[in-house]
Structure 1
Amino acid sequence: MPVIDGCPNFHFLTDSPGHLRALLEAGINGMRRVRTDGGERRPAILIRSSPWKAGSVQTPWHDVFDLDSGHVRYFGDHKVGSPGAPDGSKGNAALLDAFEGHQAPTAEGRAKAVPLLLLLRSVTSNGKPKGHVEFCGVGVVERVERIVQWAGRERTTFTNYVYDIAVMSLTAEDERLDWDWITARRDGLADAEVLSVAPKAWREWVEHGHAALPRVRRRVARSKVEKVREQRPVTGSAEERDLRLVYEHFDGRKHDFEVLASAVAARILRRDGHAYREGWLTRLSGDGGADFVGRLDLGTGLSGTSLVVLGQAKCILPASNVSAEQIARVVARLRRGWIGVYVTTGSYSEAVQLEMVEDQYPVLLVNGRDLFREIRAMARDDHGGELIACVEHLVDHGAIPVAHRRSEEILLL
């Protein structure tokens, strides 16, 4: 049956005709090896974790499933009273063997490596455990550590292994795993044939090794990241031509572009009724990572507060990217309760955006496409659609002064 008690049937989804059922009886479940023309291959290792059992006699460890960052820290299956050495227990032996394959120095070696299929036991809303499992992703072992653990109620210690596992992105597959890949691995097909039906991230890892992990690791933050091409107007469009015109108009005129950037930042920050006050531009030298200063007021009276806004403006070629070092200058200036705004005619690399999202830096990034759209809206509202007339008016008649003041003084105005 495909569905039981309203949940997808694990055995139905993992059915491989002609093969034994995939099992989840233990925490670490290694599938039986199969023979291929290139030697033996283990199709997959299914790893299960039960979070509510952490710290119990049965499970005296605490697995960590940080799926947003694509990382799992998983403890092996050696326990107090287990016979033999920790690497002799069934689960540890399977994962240590998998680790060796995951460290293969060649693509041919990695093509034989066994994928780890990670599953997490779910918990009902009232906190009672259920037998259902949730698929969390495909992983490879990055590091292995032999550790000494405290057995809790037994008041003794024992030796075990802990595994740091990189969870790969399945974005290209809409967060789904095609079980046909595992079936192909079980059928003994050639490595190259099996690889052709593997997830995209797995194929890239096989080709490039651990150097590819920063690109293929699962990161929820990636959903908040825009590709560089999406931050730029369409090639050959009127938007691209006009953005280039704006860049050429301000190229070499740093303070004039800062006036424009401050006005655009004010327009963005005033949306949804927020009260924003433009302050001043900093002097040409010694700005220390801030080109303009403003204040964002939230609430009123005793129920209100004000935030210092530090802005950075960068007029660069629309086809250029802002570097992480340039963003870091603004971040380094921010104090607790301050926010930053970075305005550019260019764009931001995916790596820069990921760093901003994952480190939760309070900085608004305004790229060239968004900058142009705000300017175009201002020109349409006040200057009959004349783009250059709009920006020249902002520069010539803008009320924002140039000052050499401490940023926090904006709170006193």
Structure 2
Amino acid sequence: MNTSLISSDSTWFLWAILTGIAALSIWLEQNYKWASKVTGCVLALIGAMILSNLRIIPINSPVYDNVWSYVVPLAIPLLLYNANVKKIKKESGRLLIIYLISGLGTIAGAVIGFLLLKNYIPNLYKVAGMMTGTYTGGSVNLVAMSDAFEATGELVSASVVADNLLMALYFFVLIAMPSIGFLYRHFTHPIIDENEKLSKDGTTESASYWKAKPISLKDIAFAVSTAFIIVAISTKIADSFAILIPTGNILMNLLNGLLGNKYLIMTTITMLLATYLPKFFGNIAGAQEIGTFLIYIFFTVIGVPASIVLIIQKSPLLLVYCTIIVVFNMVVSLVFGKLLKFNLEEIILASNANIGGPTTAAAMAIAKGWNNLVIPTLLVGTLGYIIGNYYGTIIGNLLNAF
């Protein structure tokens, strides 16, 4: 029974709301200091969360399914056109090291949380795979892992609810970290000391980063068409592998899960194209902007199921599990970051890139005025789109043995 003001089959109204929230979040982020601190991704998530909890929009709708089925797959290659592996290795420098270490914290948290809660949460190995993927590369990876492990809609919904609520809270923690006295005293923070959060002209750093740039009709055509082509080919290849590779033991199941995952194929193909045809894909103006806007729509959608009622009814233990993973990620990042003498800015962005992905991490770097870390953050976070699917698939299948 539908209890929302706007019904689930009001297609045009729901698309108007989703794109409207995404656009409003971007506008707020680029025009107001407080919104720039929160980041537009979190604003989009919170906006949808408020509307769904007030029962203005439905929690479930075919429109949301279309975002998962079409919008997200198209966003992935668009965001990966600069994922030149040679460039990542050359330009990401120190941030790549702490990012990879931070990812180990995610894996440790997923395994330890599984061992603690496996007797209390059914099919927790599926959640482990989804959360390992999403907390290594970002929320986009959750889509791939939920499909790879054939998680039920109810389990995915409950996981997303827990993930969304915790992710929003953790972003606030990350944003507040530079202001925490203990961290400020015990970590170096040269960029925080030198950079201002606002540009000289009074605009936010987000507005400065996303300032207008020359984009031709050809750029838009190439960006969109190549994204469609990559998604189509990747889907066909993955479907073929899923049929050809038999299952029956752990090794074959893992191989089937890897090669039969369209998102994994998609990210791999795009990465190879960006690496070996950098002059073409790296010079498609507007691809990052279009892909980022699509991701903002996705953030809006994942905020919809974040119902406080559902948290209480269905996923309190999943919230605990997600919290364990995030806490381990943060602790490992801070401890090893301190031991290896990383700056606080690098540690925060590395953890953010793991938990939220490159868009949220880069948005935070932009909002904080850490300009020289924006590109490295995007690069290592983009790498997370790739390795997150590998990590999630491997961890989920290994824990399934328990």
Indicate whether the TM-score tops 0.5: no
From the two aligned structures, give the one with the greater helix fraction.
Answer: 2
Structure whose CA Rg is larger:
1
Q: TM-score under structure 2 normalisation?
A: 0.24
Which structure has the higher relative contact order (CA within 8 Å, separation 6+)?
2
From the two aligned structures, give the one with the greater strand fraction.
Answer: 1
